[in-house]
Amino acid sequence: MKNKINFPIQMYDPKREYKNIKSAIDGGIQKVLDHGLFINGPEVSELEQKLSQYIGSKHCIAVSNGTDALKIALLALDIGINDEVITVSHTWISTAEIISLINAIPVFVDINVNDFCIDINKIESKITTKTKAIIVVSLYGQMPDLHEINKIAEKYSIHVIEDGAQSFGAKNGDNYSSNMTTIGTTSFFPSKPLGCYGDGGACFTNDAKLAVKIRAIKNHGGTKRFCHEYIGLNGRLDTIQAAILLQKFPHFDECLKRRNDCANYYSKNLKKLEERGLITLPKVKDGYTSAWAQYSILARNNVERDSIVSYLKENKVNVAIFYPAPLHTQKCFEYLNYKKDDFPVTEKVCDTIFNLPCYGEITLEEQDYIIQTIFGFFKQLS
């Protein structure tokens, strides 16, 4: 029996996963309500242990969200006023705004079109005596070549932070995202492959001293109650969110498999359009696995991209554009004095990218409808 298509088709529908594991989620929340330890309850440390064991990291520190995870990472590395941090302009604003927020300076580098990650060949030209770190973004679920980036960082004695907000569970060979850099971070925003029902995030490191410092900074800089060694913030993960993640975690590998199945189905059935030069489909590099936080397609130009998106929405498919404007063109970063055409690949991608619904609970019928609608768009052009 075929599944009914529920219109409009959503970019992500968290209710579907909840219905599948409702009793476990409800039981986990009820346990927290019963013991009443809503801050720093036992579920938080249990989650940290499970997450660190999963990726092979020595230390996991659960925090309030992915943005705070990045901020805490920078603070733990003593990065601050006028220090330079290299990153990309094609990402969610959190990656760069936290650099500015601590009075450091974001230094943007272009991306490559193959995986939407930082162009490794352009990093060294941006390194100066003020450079203290590189924040690499594992965008849409796939990691850049962190082996090569780490070599560059080691050469100049700078740190690497992975913004793995979209890539928890992704791998390069046997190496997991968030466990290949000085500090790795991730997000548990609801739409992420491993998402809670609010905000959440985590920092990972294999450095014991850094772990102690990160744990202190996320709790007002305190190494123990009423003793504040560092300037910190309230960056704790709520116990209820930890409890939700604990109940979802046993299903995480299956979730990743279903997301990969979803992405592969799109690629297989949209390949004819790519062969005709009408669109460019996302690729996973050899030896890598993706968490498929997003399924990102490139149109031929900006006008056609916007027309495809409008056509899909008119036909009750909620697609998205991540991200329509590069960070170096945003008003808040005007003070950095970048200009249009400084990062041509980034700007081209932002002009032509659009993202299809891609999550474990989407049905084949819904995917078929989306695929048919995209074909319908190009048929009307001919």
The CA-atom distances, in angstroms, between 339 and each of 79, 334, 342 are: 26, 9, 6
pLDDT of residue 215: 98
DSSP state of 40: S
8 cis-preceded (ω within 30 degrees of 0): yes
pLDDT (tens digit, 9 = 90+) per residue, 265-311?
Answer: 999 999 999 999 999 999 999 999 999 999 999 999 999 999 999 99
Name 254's Cβ contacts closer than 8 Å, sequence gap at least 6. 360
At the topology level of CATH, where does 14-250 sit?
Aspartate Aminotransferase; domain 2 (3.40.640)
Does the pLDDT of residue 339 top 60, yes or no?
yes
- Confidence (pTM): 0.97
Question: Per-residue pLDDT for 2 more than 80?
Answer: no
Q: pLDDT digits over 76-90, tens only? A: 999 999 999 999 999
Verify cis geometry, omega within 30 degrees of 0, for the bond prior to 197.
no
What's the CATH superfamily of 252-381? Aspartate Aminotransferase, domain 1 (3.90.1150.10)
Residue 244 has pLDDT above 90, yes or no: yes
**At what angle are helices 302-314 and 344-352 packed, to 10 degrees?**
30
Within a 13 Å sphere around the CA of 264, how many CA atoms are in the beta-carbon half?
10
- Determine the 3-state secondary structure of 296 from DSSP: strand
Which residues have CB under 8 Å from 127's CB, separation 6+? 86, 152, 156, 158
- Examine the pLDDT at 1 and tell me if it is beyond 50: no
What would the pLDDT profile of 95-107 be if each residue is shown by its tens digit? 999 999 999 999 9
Residues 79/85, Cβ–Cβ less than 8 Å: yes
Rounded Cα gap, residues 65 and 174, in angstroms: 26
CA atoms within 13 A on the CB side of 69: 30
Domain boundaries, the chain: 14-250, 252-381
Check pLDDT > 80 for residue 3.
no
Per-residue model confidence as pLDDT tens digits over 10-57: 999 999 999 999 999 999 999 999 999 999 999 999 999 999 999 999
Angle between helices 208-217 and 66-76 (to 10 degrees): 120
Please name the amino acid found at residue 247: Q
The rounded distance, in Å, linking the Cα atoms of 160 and 134 is: 5
User: Which class for 275: exposed (0-12), middle (13-18), buried (19 or more C-beta within 10 A)?
Assistant: exposed
Q: What are phi and psi of 307, to 5 degrees?
A: -70, -40
